[in-house]
C-alpha cells in the first residue's frame, strides 16, 4: 500500500516570537498531523498531503515547505483565482492560545471539487486522515464527495481516521455538523475527538458519554483527548483512562491535539497496541507545547515518541 494521505487546509501562520517580532510559518490541523506522521513513521511509508492552493508566491512557498519536509505534494491542486488562508496566534501566560483567521476565500475550500481527483489520490492508501475542519470548509457538496471517496478507499483496504475538531464558525449549521459526524463515525476505524469540542457540539457531559455516542455510531476505536486530564481510550476490549505526560510549563498549546493524533496514528501503523499508542501520543503532545507555533522540529518529535 502507498502510505498515508492527510486531507485538509494548510495556512500561513504568524506567531509572536516574544521579542516584538512575528515569525511566519505554515501549518493547519491536518498538515500538523502529516508533519508528525512524517517525523515518526519509517521512511519507506510515504506521507502525502491533499489540499488546494493558489498560484501566487506564498502558495509556492507553502508547497516548497511541505515538500522539503518530506511530505508528498502530488495530490495538491492549484487554483487560478484564490490563495491560501492565514492565521495569527496569541498566547496567554499559561501558553493557552487564541487565533485570528483570514480564510473565508481560501483555495482549500475547493479541495473536494474534483471527485475523480479525490478517488485517484486515495487509491491504494494505507491510512486516510481528515478532520471536522476539512469537512466544514468544503461545504455540503464537498462533504458528499469526501464520504464517497472514503468509502471507496476503505473498500480497497484503507484505514480511515478522523478528528471531529469542531469549530462552530466554520459550519453552515450545528445540524449539518452533527449529521456529518454521525455518518463518518460509522465509516471511520479510528476517531480522535477532543472532549471540549464534543461538549460544545453535542452536549456531552463526560468523556465516557462522548465515547459511548461514537462507538454507538459504529467506530470501534475511540480516543477522547481532554487537555491536562486523562485521555479516555475505548476499544472492543473496554475503556481505560491514561493520565497525560507532563513536560514543564507550556509555551504555546497550538497543535498539541494534532501532535497527539500524529503520534497515536504513527504508533498504531507501526504495530503498537492502542494503550502504547496513547502513551506515544501524549509524549508527542507534551513536546509540541514547549515551543511556539504548531510545528515542533521533527527530531524533537522523534525523541519524545521513542518509537
Catalytic residue ranges: 258
Distance CA 149, CA 187 (A): 11
> What 8-state DSSP symbol labels residue 94?
T
The helix or strand, by DSSP H or E, that contains position 208, with its residue range, turns out to be helix 207-216
Residue 265 CA to residue 237 CA, distance in Å, equals 19
The CB density around residue 43, as the number of other CB atoms within 10 Å, is: 8
Q: What are phi and psi of 215, to 5 degrees?
A: -70, -35
Q: What are phi and psi of 49, to 5 degrees?
A: -120, 135
Cβ neighbours of residue 182 under 8 Å, at least 6 residues apart?
217
CB count in 10 Å sphere of residue 44: 6
Strands (E) across the chain are located at 4-7, 11-16, 22-27, 47-50, 52-53, 77-78, 86-91, 97-102, 127-131, 159-163, 190-191, 222-224, 231-235, 238-242
3-state SS assignment for residue 132: helix
Amino acid at each position: 500500500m502507498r502510505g498515508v494521505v492527510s486531507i485538509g487546509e494548510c495556512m500561513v501562520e504568524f506567531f509572536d516570537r516574544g521579542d516584538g517580532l512575528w515569525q511566519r510559518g505554515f501549518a493547519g490541523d491536518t498538515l500538523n498531523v502529516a508533519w508528525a506522521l512524517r517525523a515518526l513513521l519509517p521512511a519507506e511509508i510515504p506521507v502525502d498531503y491533499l489540499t488546494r492552493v493558489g498560484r501566487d508566491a506564498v502558495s509556492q512557498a507553502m508547497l516548497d515547505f511541505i515538500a522539503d519536509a518530506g511530505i508528498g505534494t502530488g495530490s495538491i491542486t492549484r487554483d487560478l483565482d484564490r490563495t491560501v488562508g492565514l492565521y495569527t496566534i496569541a498566547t496567554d501566560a499559561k501558553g493557552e492560545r487564541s487565533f485570528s483567521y483570514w480564510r473565508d476565500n481560501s483555495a482549500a475550500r475547493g479541495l473536494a471539487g474534483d471527485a475523480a481527483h479525490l478517488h485517484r489520490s486515495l487509491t491504494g492508501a494505507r491510512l486516510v486522515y481528515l478532520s471536522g475542519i476539512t469537512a466544514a470548509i468544503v461545504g455540503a457538496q464537498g462533504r458528499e464527495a469526501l464520504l464517497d471517496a472514503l468509502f471507496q478507499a476503505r473498500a480497497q483496504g484503507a484505514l480511515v481516521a478522523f478528528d471531529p475538531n469542531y469549530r462552530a464558525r466554520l459550519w453552515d449549521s450545528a445540524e449539518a455538523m452533527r449529521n456529518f459526524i454521525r455518518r463518518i463515525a460509522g465509516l471511520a476505524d479510528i476517531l480522535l475527538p477532543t472532549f471540549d469540542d464534543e461538549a460544545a457540539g453535542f452536549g456531552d457531559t463526560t468523556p465516557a458519554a462522548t465515547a459511548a455516542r461514537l462507538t454507538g455510531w459504529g467506530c470501534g476505536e475511540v480516543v477522547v483527548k481532554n487537555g491536562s486530564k486523562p485521555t479516555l481510550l475505548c476499544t472492543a476490549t473496554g475503556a481505560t483512562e491514561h493520565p497525560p505526560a507532563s513536560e514543564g510549563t507550556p509555551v504555546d498549546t497550538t497543535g498539541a491535539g494534532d501532535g497527539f493524533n500524529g503520534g497515536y496514528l504513527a504508533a498504531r501503523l507501526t504495530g503498537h497496541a492502542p494503550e502504547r499508542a496513547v502513551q506515544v501520543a501524549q509524549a508527542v503532545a507534551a513536546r509540541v507545547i514547549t515551543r511556539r507555533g504548531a510545528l515542533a522540529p521533527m527530531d524533537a518529535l522523534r525523541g519524545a515518541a521513542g518509537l
